[in-house]
Amino acid sequence: MKTSTIAEAKNNLSQLIHQLESDDAIHLTRHGKPVAVMLSEANYQKLTHKENNLYQAIQQWRTNLEGDSALTDTELKNIRSTSQGREFSWDK
C-alpha cells in the first residue's frame, strides 16, 4: 500500500497517476491521518460495477443454493453464539 501526504500528491500528481496504473491504491494522509484514497479507473470500475453489489452477490448466492443445501435450524443454532451478552442498564 502506497501512502502519500496531500502536499506530496499535489506536487507529484502526474507521477502518482502513473503509479496507480500498476498499484492497487494510494492512500492520502493529512497530519499523519488517512483522509482519502486514490484509485485507478480500472480499480474504481471494479468496485462500483453493478455485479459487485453486495445485495446482488447475496441474492446470486441464494439463487445458486440447491433446495437441500440451505442451513437447517440445527445448523443455525450451532453457529449462533449461546453467550448471554454484556450487562446493560439505562441507569447510571
Domains in the chain: boundaries: 2-40
Confirm if 16 and 27 have CB atoms less than 8 A apart: no
Question: In whole angstroms, what is the distance from residue 30 CA to residue 33 CA?
Answer: 5
pLDDT tens column, 75-87:
777 777 777 777 8
Cβ-proximal residues to 30 (8 Å cutoff; 6+ apart), any chain: 5, 6
pLDDT tens column, 36-64:
999 999 888 877 776 666 777 777 777 77
The whole-number pLDDT of residue 70 equals: 66
Q: Which CATH number applies to 2-40: 3.40.1620.10, 3.30.450.20, 3.40.50.2300, 3.40.640.10?
A: 3.40.1620.10
Residue 75, exposed/middle/buried by CB under 10 A (0-12, 13-18, 19+)? exposed
Q: In the structure grid, which three cell numbers stand for residue 64, read together?
A: 445458486
On average, the pLDDT of the chain sits at 81
